[in-house]
Amino acid sequence: MAASEAAPYAKTGGLADVLGALPAALAALGHDVAVVLPRYQFIPLRETRRVYDDLPVSLGSTVYHTALHQIDGKVSYFFVDCPPLYDRPGLYGENGLDYPDNHIRFAVFARAALEVVRRVFRVDVLHCHDWQAGLVPVYLKTVMSTDPTFLGVRTLFTIHNLGYQGLFGRDVLPEIGLTDDLFIPGRLEFWGNISFIKGGLVYADALNTVSPTYAREIQTPEYGFGLDGVLRARSNVLSGILNGVDYSEWDPQTDPNLPARYSSSDLSGKSICKRELVREFGLPEDTFERPLIGIISRLTSQKGADLIEASIGNIIGLGFSLVVLGAGEPEYEEMFTRMAAAHPERVALRLGYDNGLAHRIEAGSDLFLMPSRYEPCGLNQIYSLRYGTIPIVRATGGLDDTIEEGTGFKFWDYSAEALTDALRAARDAFADQDRWSAMMRRAMAEDFSWQVSARQYSDLYGLLRGRP
């Protein structure tokens, strides 16, 4: 697998969680799995062994000298070390701005991943993730197409979020070692730029994304970000496999971050978690009697921040309190700050990310709100199910696939009115505590473990290997 992040080594979002859990689940099925990622500044080398002192990567007339480090285990992790490119505080940028040489950084990474396959870890399937690895299939089918090392190697390209595409100007083609004949609509050209994610979509042998519903949605103009035509043209090799979650980390029976643990057979600890969460956020004691909504999110328009702003009057009017943990676009950070200042008795905010607090919000909240404009898969709604915290979600992507009547509340229109209707239904259900307890137990019984998803990926790899 080639990816730009993998937990616990480098993480900005759900991609890292997938690369931290799926490889191990595949290894448990008997696959021999390795993951290649850049060696960023914050990844220490003391636990690695150096495999190559000099692994040269040529892009056009420029040679980049990389080193390769490895961590052994049931899954091998390889780190491509090139300090001029990766020895920086951020993965993709700093202070809200992308690094201007990201095209070179991830082109070098893609070529280095192929060198790992050539020299160290021979493969049947190269599984590439998101735009940062989008050039792997491109190089394989163009500049390296005659290399016998890769004879029979198949590529799978996984879309984790089509909204992030890796767009760069046409003039970077020589810098990334590609020729101008690729600058046509059927290859890398995208509205006057080149698109790394389009490279993966066009050149990979098979495509998939992180939920069945999202696989259908991205073939429409509404969700396709201009690439829906490409995806429709390749629909015969496009599938959706729902992300799993790691229940060894997210389970209220064993979670070390909680003030009390609980299970579906004994929910008493959840009340303790709620009371302590109310105190941790400094909300008044009478909050404990109200239905408490939790939000853990990037504060962006994709995640429905504007819909929450439009609905806050209804949220409070229906009797809810709200605890929010997240960071994101400055306008939405400011919006949530104003919201908390205007309603200090009902809305509490922590800007930033705190893993322990995230676990306590999942356990201490009664409901979890995810009103996303689009959501490829989503993980927090799945964590919420296991914690007996009933999700309220917009029925899009993986949110639609994972939440059903009896385990949560869904709404379809992206509007404050539709969200308010779902909130009203949730409030009425919460008022009947026998009904609510039964709903919590149904939610906690749901199984979205990686073992299920890994078997589906295993089948897909088998299908790829059997293709002529």
Same domain, 93 and 203: yes
**Considering the domain boundaries, does residue 298 fall inside one?**
yes
Same domain, 159 and 171: yes
pLDDT at 468 over 60: no
Instruction: Write down the pLDDT at residue 467.
Output: 53
Q: Give pLDDT tens digits for 239-288.
A: 999 999 989 999 999 999 999 999 999 999 999 999 999 999 999 999 99
Average pLDDT over residues 179-184: 96
Q: Give pLDDT tens digits for 211-251.
A: 999 999 999 999 999 999 999 999 999 999 999 998 999 99
Same domain, 121 and 30: yes
Same domain, 82 and 121: yes
**Considering the domain boundaries, does residue 6 fall inside one?**
no
Instruction: Write down the pLDDT at residue 252.
Output: 98
**Considering the domain boundaries, does residue 403 fall inside one?**
yes
Q: Give pLDDT tens digits for 51-74.
A: 999 999 999 889 999 999 999 999
Count up the domains in the chain and report the number: 2
**Considering the domain boundaries, does residue 258 fall inside one?**
no
**Considering the domain boundaries, does residue 255 fall inside one?**
no
**Considering the domain boundaries, does residue 7 fall inside one?**
no
Same domain, 52 and 85: yes
Q: Return the CATH number at 390.
A: 3.40.50.2000
**Considering the domain boundaries, does residue 185 fall inside one?**
yes
**Considering the domain boundaries, does residue 137 fall inside one?**
yes
Same domain, 274 and 171: no
Residue type, 448: F
- Percentage, residues of the chain above pLDDT 70: 100
Q: Residue 361: how many CB atoms within 10 A of its CB? A: 29
Instruction: Write down the pLDDT at residue 275.
Output: 97
- Beta-sheet strands, E only, within 115-266: 125-129, 154-159, 167-169, 189-190, 193-195, 206-209, 238-240
Same domain, 287 and 395: yes
Same domain, 21 and 110: yes
- Residues spanned by the domain of 365: 268-447
Same domain, 408 and 296: yes
Same domain, 437 and 346: yes
Same domain, 223 and 331: no
Same domain, 306 and 360: yes
Whole-Å CA distances, 359 to 39, 250, 336, 391:
28, 8, 21, 15
Residue 12 is encoded by which pair of tokens?
Answer: 């900005």
Chain mean pLDDT for the chain: 96
Cβ burial of 432 (10 Å; 0-12, 13-18, 19+) is exposed
